[in-house]
Structure 1
Amino acid sequence: MTDESKAYGEGSTRAVSVDEAEALVRGICFKTGPPRLLGVELEWLVHDLADPTRPVEPSRLAAAADRLHKLPLRSLLTVEPGGQIEFSSRPAGSLTACVEEVAADLALARDGLRDLGLFLSGYGKEPWTHPDRIIVTRRYDAMEVFYDSWNEAGRTIMCRTASVQVCLDAGHEEPGPLGFGRRWRLAHLLGAVLNAAFANSPLHRGRPTGWRSTRQATYARMDPGRTLAPAEDMEPRAAWTRYALDAEVMFVRNQDGPWEPRRGLALREWLRTGEPRPVTAGDVLYHLTTLFPPIRPRGHLELRMIDAQPGEDGWLVPLAVTVALFDDPSAAETAYRTVKALADTAAGEPTPRNPLWHRAARYGLSDPELHAAAVACFAAAREALPRLGASARILSAVDEFTARYVARGRCPADDLLDLVADRRAVTEVRS
């Protein structure tokens, strides 16, 4: 058994029924209790120090990954299909502890990459080049075939995007600001505000796409059965369980040989028929890793709508703001009241295809309603951060981001758009 197979539960070979699969999904995806732990997953593009617009050869990306794997990192290091580097923090008991540990790992990584003439670059989508997949595994081979049967969006997400994913405890059983039902609903409304505030992927091959968050717009074009949100009018555990079983199986794993991409076979139907082979508990667990809605329950809640951020400390702002708005009861109540007022504009298709999320990805904080909501939410978060023991480094980063972007109705994508507009103006003058 390969390490890759072990990581996704292939050792669990017991065949399961529909009822057993439902119980398994329901039991592992929402671990309820008072919020105590948090974490972050940071994806980065790898760029050339001398010329960030120049493609980085696969051999150099492989050397970078090899160098980083040898460092004494406390975060889990993985390499994404297009050579992006991901750091997944350990669960932390406080925001400051999480930031300090991940920042130390990033400092080590940056030093190691600098020797190779490379650096970690924070954009939600590769702005200058169009990298292809460089990581070859049975999982990625089958995923690429499945995605390509829809359109090119999945391949773009695999190879050309990066994000800040904030991980929070699901919340306790009781109603109120820290209850898991409220937190689940808050995530689906606040997610649009977070996407707008931190939008940072407006370019394709150096040209504007018309979106502040092209990454989020690309997700909205993928297989809807695995990228849209579950039904938001149902109890969260029931909604997620139905969603997971009704989603198409991306592929059927084989012990030997390539994995078989599938179209049109929902997990529920596979469980009922037992064809092309009986479904195991490991298959169910693996299937969950192929679902990519904007909020994914994995025992905790994983918020996936935030683009990767520029600068050395840019990543800690979405982490700090999100943690404050979920884990401080007063800030959570303020955030919920603020975004609940946006609920009517989120009617229609599920998240993230509804009008609210569409506007967030298209316009960022230049949208007046999203701007007003962001101003209120950032203010509530800033007030809460000292109560959560946030360090001076965190407070300074949040203050700087708020003044530079939120207060002015801008997002990081606007800096990139200004950059390419200035370059175009200079070129026109010179010509």
Structure 2
Amino acid sequence: MVTSPELDRGGILRESATAARHLARICFKTGPPTHTGVELEWTVHDAADPARPVDVARLRTALGRHCPVTLDHTSPATPLGHGGTVTLEPGGQLEISTLPRPSVAALIRATEAEIAEVTALLTVAGLVLGRSGIDPHRRPRPVLETPRYRAMRGAFDQRGPAGRTMMYSTAGLQICLDAGDVGQVASRWAAAHAIGPPLLAAFASADRHAGRRTGWASARMAAWLDIDPPRTRPVWSPRRADEDPTDAWVRYVLAAPLLCLRRHGPDWTPPPGVTFADWLDGALPRPPTTDDLDYHVSTLFPPVRPRGYLELRYLDAQPGRDWVLPLAVLAALFADPGTVRAAYSIGAPVAHRWSAAARRGLADPAVAAAAAALLDLALTALPGLDLPAALHDEVQRGVRRRLATAERGAR
């Protein structure tokens, strides 16, 4: 195998214990939980005809100096006005990744400004951002091609069409929370998973795809659950609730098959079925490096992913300003250890119901009851976020609307 120094950065790994120590250093950064971040994805549409395909050239022109290098390798990829970055997913979905902020209000203000900045660029090009977690108008089609994306498509195609749906048609909302102090990590990790199904249901926005109803409240999550379980299933489960978070993550990472193997040229297809643990055991011509391990981690997509902080990946993209609502709900639920414990207690009985929440949403009575209790708890904790009065009232009204829907589903 021909490799380059760029692909060989980092120390060589020759045993699983060394890999485990490396993962342990980077997966959960402990300290007081003070920062919150958000990553927003949208499908992108022609303003006059949302079913019309949007090509690479049009996106490149619209984004200008903010264009990611995956779309134009000559782009300066200039950050947005408040430090956030623009990236594109393989179906042309646009993502803004904000800088984390110690204040939820400051995070919302900065994110609003960056959304407005991108929206203005798209408007000039006759483009608009989508309003749901899956493309309601178009069938899946590739827009951005890279060796990584070709390898992903090849791997996912072996299981069926869900991979292409996920890659080319879905858009999510990711909330990023600090892992917390050493004594808080396990409880925050468990709560982040346990409340996933009810909050997925409460904020599901992906029931229509390619011009038809899908039969799922969140067809976006349905695609994720179907593509490749060793890299998309939850790391934590009620059956192993007491497992140390770092141990669980190490086991998950090493057992996952390689999705792509970086090399010169356009073909990054790995040998079939080779896990990272296999690579450590000598399955490939050269030993892996810490850089290879870090890259492998970037190809794992569980509903909650530890990246030093906790990246909660289970929410659908929201219409308009509604992204503020789940951000505020999660920030409120995780603002205090007591609220974290209460949220876990509410979510634990339905923590395994990912598929039911994705399919039925708040039509599932058990999931709806948990969602209602979590939203009520969040409303109680909301004053602790110290939001400006107008923003507090806006969030409160929006969450109460979701609460009323959840309460109807729970009856």
- TM-score > 0.5 by shorter chain: yes
* One-letter amino acid of the counterpart of residue 158, structure 1: M
Structure 2 match to 1:360: 357
* One-letter amino acid of the counterpart of residue 166, structure 1: I
Residues 1:185 and 2:190 are matched in the alignment: yes
Q: Is the 8 A contact 2:235 2:304 kept in 1?
A: no
Q: Is the 8 A contact 1:143 1:261 kept in 2?
A: no
Structure 1 match to 2:315: 306
**Cα gap change, 1:257/1:127 in structure 2, threshold over 3 Å: closer, same or farther?**
closer
Query: Does 135-144 or 255-264 show the bigger shift?
Result: 255-264
- Mapped to 2, the partners of 1:397 and 1:181 lie a distance apart of 32
Alignment size in residue pairs: 389
Structure 1 match to 2:293: 284
Structure 1 match to 2:347: 339
- Mapped to 2, the partners of 1:166 and 1:300 lie a distance apart of 10
Structure 2 match to 1:30: 28
Q: Is the 8 A contact 2:43 2:171 kept in 1?
A: yes
* One-letter amino acid of the counterpart of residue 209, structure 1: T
Residues 1:111 and 2:111 are matched in the alignment: no
Alignment of 1:371-386 (within 5 A): 371-386=368-383
Q: Is the 8 A contact 1:16 1:281 kept in 2?
A: no
- Mapped to 2, the partners of 1:410 and 1:155 lie a distance apart of 35
**Cα gap change, 1:80/1:37 in structure 2, threshold over 3 Å: closer, same or farther?**
same
Tell me which stretches of 4 or more aligned residues in structure 1 moved more than 6 Å. Answer: none
Structure 2 match to 1:126: 135
Give the Å deviation of 1:15.
4.2
Q: Is the 8 A contact 1:145 1:261 kept in 2?
A: no
Counting aligned pairs with the same residue, the percent is 42
Q: Is the 8 A contact 2:191 2:347 kept in 1?
A: yes
Give the Å deviation of 1:67.
6.2
* One-letter amino acid of the counterpart of residue 273, structure 2: G
Unaligned runs of 5+ in 1: 347-355, 412-431
Give the secondary structure class of the aligned counterpart of 1:33. Answer: coil
- Mapped to 1, the partners of 2:340 and 2:79 lie a distance apart of 38
Structure 1 match to 2:71: none
* One-letter amino acid of the counterpart of residue 379, structure 1: D
Structure 1 match to 2:70: none
Task: State TM-score, norm by structure 2.
Answer: 0.89
* Partner residue of 2:214 out of 209, 212, 215: 209
Give the Å deviation of 1:13.
5.5
- Mapped to 1, the partners of 2:221 and 2:271 lie a distance apart of 25
* One-letter amino acid of the counterpart of residue 398, structure 1: V
* Partner residue of 2:168 out of 159, 166, 169: 159
Unaligned runs of 5+ in 2: 68-77
Q: Is the 8 A contact 1:33 1:173 kept in 2?
A: yes
Q: Which digits, 9 at most, give the CA deviation of each residue in 1:288-329, with x for residues without a partner?
A: 000001010111111100000001x11111111111111233
Alignment of 1:31-110 (within 5 A): 31-66=29-64, 68-69=66-67, 72-73=80-81, 74-110=83-119
Q: Is the 8 A contact 1:164 1:309 kept in 2?
A: yes
Computed over aligned residues only, the root mean square deviation of the Cα atoms, in angstroms, reads 2.1
Q: Is the 8 A contact 1:371 1:406 kept in 2?
A: no
Q: Which digits, 9 at most, give the CA deviation of each residue in 1:317-358, with x for residues without a partner?
A: 111111111123343233122223435xx3xxxxxxxxx112
Q: Which digits, 9 at most, give the CA deviation of each residue in 1:174-232, with x for residues without a partner?
A: 2xxxx111111111110001100110111121211110000111111111110112253
Structure 2 match to 1:417: none
Give the secondary structure class of the aligned counterpart of 2:43. Answer: strand
Q: Is the 8 A contact 2:140 2:164 kept in 1?
A: no
Q: Is the 8 A contact 2:274 2:283 kept in 1?
A: no
* Partner residue of 1:140 out of 149, 152, 155: 149
Q: Is the 8 A contact 1:124 1:309 kept in 2?
A: yes
Residues 1:197 and 2:202 are matched in the alignment: yes
Q: Is the 8 A contact 1:46 1:61 kept in 2?
A: no
Alignment of 1:14-25 (within 5 A): 14-25=12-23
Q: Is the 8 A contact 2:55 2:143 kept in 1?
A: no
- Mapped to 2, the partners of 1:113 and 1:328 lie a distance apart of 39
Structure 2 match to 1:422: none
Alignment of 1:387-406 (within 5 A): 387-406=384-403
- Mapped to 1, the partners of 2:140 and 2:391 lie a distance apart of 33
Query: Does 265-274 or 253-262 show the bigger shift?
Result: 253-262
* Partner residue of 2:337 out of 312, 315, 329: 329
Give the Å deviation of 1:244.
0.3
**Cα gap change, 1:72/1:210 in structure 2, threshold over 3 Å: closer, same or farther?**
closer
Q: Is the 8 A contact 2:332 2:384 kept in 1?
A: no
Q: Is the 8 A contact 1:43 1:87 kept in 2?
A: yes
Alignment of 1:226-241 (within 5 A): 226-230=231-235, 232=237, 233=240, 234-241=243-250
Give the Å deviation of 1:114.
1.1
Q: Is the 8 A contact 2:187 2:341 kept in 1?
A: no
Give the secondary structure class of the aligned counterpart of 1:221. Answer: helix
- Mapped to 2, the partners of 1:255 and 1:309 lie a distance apart of 39
Query: Does 258-267 or 66-75 show the bigger shift?
Result: 66-75
Give the secondary structure class of the aligned counterpart of 1:43. Answer: strand
Q: Is the 8 A contact 2:13 2:19 kept in 1?
A: no
Give the secondary structure class of the aligned counterpart of 2:92. Answer: coil
Give the secondary structure class of the aligned counterpart of 1:187. Answer: helix
- Mapped to 2, the partners of 1:137 and 1:11 lie a distance apart of 21
